Amino acid sequence: MTTLSVDAETARSDYAALVERGLFLDITRGKPSPRQLDLSNGMLGLPGDVFKAEDGTDVRNYGGLNGLAELRRLFSGFLQVPADQLLAAGNSSLELMHDSVVQAMLSALPGAERRWADEERVAFLCPVPGYDRHFALSERFGIELIQVPMTESGPDMDVVERLVAEDAGIKGIWCVPKYSNPDGTTYSDETVRRLAAMTTAAPDFRIFWDNAYAIHHLTDVEAPLADLLALCEENGNADRAFVFGSTSKVTLAGAGVGFFGASKANIAWWLGKIGKRTIGPDKINQLRHILFLKDEDGVRAHMRKHRELIAPKFDAVDRILTEELGGTGLASWTKPTGGYFISLTVVPGTAKEVVRLAKAAGIALTPAGATHPYGDDPEDKTIRIAPTFPELAEIEEAVKGLTVCVRLAAAERA
């Protein structure tokens, strides 16, 4: 921040006018809008009268723990996991991440000396700002969360390498490597290589690679991402990567398909455990996805339709923030080329107050601090904006109101 430019009087009267309007707007969560969901309405009548997989399996019956081969093949390239090491599961990748932690808590991972429940201490690194649901599921199991700053090329690898080399209690790191939540950052090749190659004190260290936005581009420049799984193998750390993905923001948010990919040893370990939990995923929904998306080109064409709906919303947020806060020194923000979020950095010590003011004016924002473990943003300056769900006019109005709150909070702090 350089010179702060804020007129307290104007800020107060602008805020009073905002409250007067009695808005009721919500930009809290990264949900697809109804119009995005409409893009997949063609799935609602599928599979129609088909119920055989390509290998003749009757998808209506029990079985098929790995998921349908044709769907695993379709997403293999996008998720950078060989199809025979990729599993297609239920309607959520979050549950696959949760269950990976659970299984590691209750059974020794390949390479582990013991199960995590019997470790004195289990800690995970959390690049911040990051995704609150990663933090919540870790906290729930008593996992200690250690913040690592994000840079423009991903987590600060000097910090990561130092911590994992010296601390055998650090068992994992949460990563959203492409169009990260909430910064929109894509990890550089060098970052991915260092993650794959670094020396870890824990023999059972895992990278939780939540590739949630692998194909969720907002521009023609599709950010490339290095192949973590291949790099781990090349560097003698084949079992280090747990890769997650889903179609929740491709097809239908509540009825997508989650994917889990890893080394052959990890997958064998996982199937051995998860085979006690289920007789198989909903293969009909997987077949439905195949019939609807068809092939990689079909997926790409479908994602372009999403882009057409949401890119204007991201543009509007940037335009309004620029118009209202540009040059004031009161805020900076990210300009992501993919993903679901914009990260807004306000005057340190005011993020919580901005969110409070916005709420009082009828604009719901993700709680300040949610981007950090334990809800603790040490500088109280990060706000996550989720522009996808509201209509364009609503997002414009909400962000305009938000800038009033940013100015008022800064003025009152000054």
Residues of the shown chain interacting with a second copy in the complex, contacts defined by CB under 8 A: 29, 31-32, 34, 37, 40-41, 44-51, 58-64, 90-92, 94-95, 98-99, 102, 105-107, 117, 133, 136-137, 140-141, 248, 252-255, 273, 276-285
* 15/260 with CB nearer a second copy: 260
Maximum pairwise Cα distance, the chain: 72
In whole angstroms, the minimum distance from the beta carbon of 118 to a second copy comes to 9
d(CA 100, CA 213): 20
* 103/382 with CB nearer a second copy: 103
Query: Which residues pair with residue 154 across a beta bridge?
Result: 151
Under a CB-based contact definition with an 8 Å cutoff, are residues 142 and 122 in contact? yes
* 144/156 with CB nearer a second copy: 144
DSSP label of 332: E
Cα distance between the two ends of the chain: 13
* 284/392 with CB nearer a second copy: 284
* 277/304 with CB nearer a second copy: 277
In whole angstroms, the minimum distance from the beta carbon of 288 to a second copy comes to 9
d(CA 20, CA 88): 50
In whole angstroms, the minimum distance from the beta carbon of 28 to a second copy comes to 12
At residue 142, the 3 state secondary structure works out as coil
* 254/327 with CB nearer a second copy: 254
User: What are the CA-CA distances from residue 367 to residues 50, 150, 217, 372, 373 (Å)?
Assistant: 45, 20, 26, 11, 13
In whole angstroms, the minimum distance from the beta carbon of 324 to a second copy comes to 30
What is the dihedral sign for C-alpha 259, 263, 266, 270? positive
In whole angstroms, the minimum distance from the beta carbon of 98 to a second copy comes to 4
In whole angstroms, the minimum distance from the beta carbon of 75 to a second copy comes to 18
